[in-house]
Structure 1
């Protein structure tokens, strides 16, 4: 199911300081300069005056090329009037007027970089006017001609949604391959914007750990978090829409045709790898893409993918190498802990020293990572022969250490408490009984040391 991306909120407040420039500073014609200054002064003290709209229209007619501000102010005025309209009869003329303002702005200032084609599409889409075909046409042209302004997650989502729906309804004359090509281009744009937002978020989050952020930095961090979340949903929707159109055979064939020209494009390789992975298209081509991506850009995700490939090939040394690299590159502490745990379980009972080492690394990263304690307890419980040999009492005493370790899982991670306590209880049943303690001439509180790889001690409990 496609996930909704919230529209960006528009502010209709007339705070002209936020425009970043002055009417008077830009106007060149002396007569228009005076009119613009007068209009500015009027707006600042009469921002809700009923004559504001008519005064603005007169100014635009008289001074259409003196300043872009005339069009930006007009956009705000008309958006406010549209927002305040109660009926379609009141709203539609204002929508038409605003559509004209966008056109006039582009004509008077063709290099304005304001993304007016995108604004026109959103205006029609948000107000449920105009056909889907018309809205798509605006967005399709904007994506080609105003790509640098095509950054709004909501717009990227609408564009891909309309592309797929119109293709399925046969309302546009595009082949499946052309649609996949467009979806791939939209994905690359969303992926690029996500990288930017994520970088800002990571850098400011790291900075916040050591020093106080300025109010501007706090705002930038919050905006980056929102943007990253919304762009992540856009990527998920794009993946879902692509999946509906193409099976593994079609996808692999499509991407293979484009591999040579994108072989050095890390964003493309990452996207293809993720998409084929999500759809479980684990072909030789997937391995080729993943290997190229890892060589070109050894990120945490790329290293993880290589670990999975190595594990499927039953190459344990390379599996460990790639999962370890992925953990080292990972910045998210939860994922980092999971990766170290994955390395620990890959070593498993065959190399208990390394297995415990990496289980402890997970705990260093995330002290509340209870699974590590459970795994370590299992390592202890399976070490009797190599640690205590023929000493039956001390062999069974190892279960006390395993039980103590298992209980720590529930202490640090409450959700694991029941399973951890059940495991500890099972170990305790296998440990020496009161009678066995007496027969071995031992007493409660006495410590037993395990001098093998474990190197730990346990106290005989009071039973």
Structure 2
């Protein structure tokens, strides 16, 4: 046969075969798509039972690459069967099947981002089906390879818990330094997630003050609050685990060794500062870390730490400067009020007018902050010689102003009522008596003004 004709026949046969293959593939794809649609419709109309399981198994066997939905539906079906199983003998093969499904999902759809390593660990942990070593390996690998999916507070807590137990039982070969590094990485992940969630929470909280949130926004706000609370507990647990195995010497060595490569990492600096502070490791290195953190990230927290450092160095004015910055940056009303009160007491009796100014700032942000009224009343009592030294009657009359101010504390804050009542009674006893009012030729209802730093007036009470 002519070679050209032979080549032409072969070429035509190849093209025909390819066309037939493509046609068959398209036909199969179309058939699989229809089967998946039909199965999803069947699920909507029926409860999850053995029939659904059987139909799903058949669908996966016939169309394993059609859609991720097949694997996600399979996860739900098998998870429910695991939950419904009453004995270990019933659960065990179902758990194995679900573990295999996760592996198949990752194999067929390798970029699925569903955190199947984490899912496998939770399946074993929740059903007490695997040993702690196996679960830890799944989570440890997931933390390294699937870090973006490692956001569940429960998972982060389990991972740090297993890391601790594996290290203490010497079931993993880690030095103390390597162990601390791993725990620190978990802490940074928690820190990072907390910052994201707090941003969502703060933005939605701020928005809710001026306009009504949508249902989706309300749900997002509630979920972010819940997650922040859960992650805060994880942080406390991780810190407790680090605290259990370290002292100042160990912590200082660990953080000093890692400082240079993390000197521009605000999250790392924040952790180092917090842990050294919690352990009361007040060294030059602690100051170095805190100063660097404040320079990189001047937050309410970092400014407060700098204020504490300045106060420890007896630099009162600088501590006030940092505390004021911290209060300005603080978004939590309770913490802001406490900061203003701290500034007020730092000014104290030597600078009474400034002290009262900041005590009043605390009341502006938190009107029921009774401590401020108590403190202001004490400032007034401490001013009897400063404001009316040449007038004995007005000198004692300041106790009326102090008593009225103290009484306000109990009126706005029930927890301060006992203290407020005691001070009111004590101050009233030291104020002018009925006889002294008469001798001074004054009468009830008359106003007495204090022209010194106080700049307030008080009415003579009817005794």
Q: For this structure pair, what is the TM-score category when the shorter chain's length is used for normalisation?
A: over 0.9
Q: CA deviation at 1:28?
A: 7.9
Matches within 5 A, 1:33-432: 33-432=33-432
Q: CA deviation at 1:77?
A: 0.2
Measure the CA separation in 1 of the matches of 2:461 and 2:247. Answer: 61
Structure 2 contact 378–402 (Cα < 8 Å) conserved: yes
Structure 2 contact 48–77 (Cα < 8 Å) conserved: no
Structure 1 contact 28–66 (Cα < 8 Å) conserved: no
Measure the CA separation in 2 of the matches of 1:295 and 1:318. Answer: 15
Unmatched 5+ residue regions in structure 2? 1-25
Q: What residue in structure 2 maps to residue 12 of structure 1?
A: none
Structure 1 contact 27–33 (Cα < 8 Å) conserved: no
Q: Over alpha carbons, which structure has the higher Rg? A: 2
Measure the CA separation in 1 of the matches of 2:390 and 2:28. Answer: 99
1:161-203 CA distances to partner (integer Å, 9 max, x unpaired)?
0001110011111111000000000000000001111111110
Structure 1 contact 341–358 (Cα < 8 Å) conserved: yes
Alignment CA distance shift 1:346-1:174 (3 Å): same
Measure the CA separation in 2 of the matches of 1:243 and 1:427. Answer: 48
Q: CA deviation at 1:113?
A: 0.6
Q: Aligned to 2:66, what secondary structure does the other structure show?
A: coil
Measure the CA separation in 2 of the matches of 1:402 and 1:35. Answer: 83
Measure the CA separation in 2 of the matches of 1:234 and 1:386. Answer: 53
Measure the CA separation in 2 of the matches of 1:417 and 1:174. Answer: 56
Measure the CA separation in 1 of the matches of 2:85 and 2:431. Answer: 78
Q: CA deviation at 1:27?
A: 11
| TM-score using structure 1 length | 0.93
1:14-63 CA distances to partner (integer Å, 9 max, x unpaired)?
xxxxxxxxxxxx99812222221222222222233431111111111111
| TM-score using structure 2 length | 0.93
Structure 2 contact 303–325 (Cα < 8 Å) conserved: yes
1:261-303 CA distances to partner (integer Å, 9 max, x unpaired)?
1111111111111111112111111111110010110000000
Name the structure with the higher helix share: 2
Q: CA deviation at 1:149?
A: 0.3
Unmatched 5+ residue regions in structure 1? 1-25
What RMSD over aligned residues (CA atoms) do the two structures have, in Å?
1.2
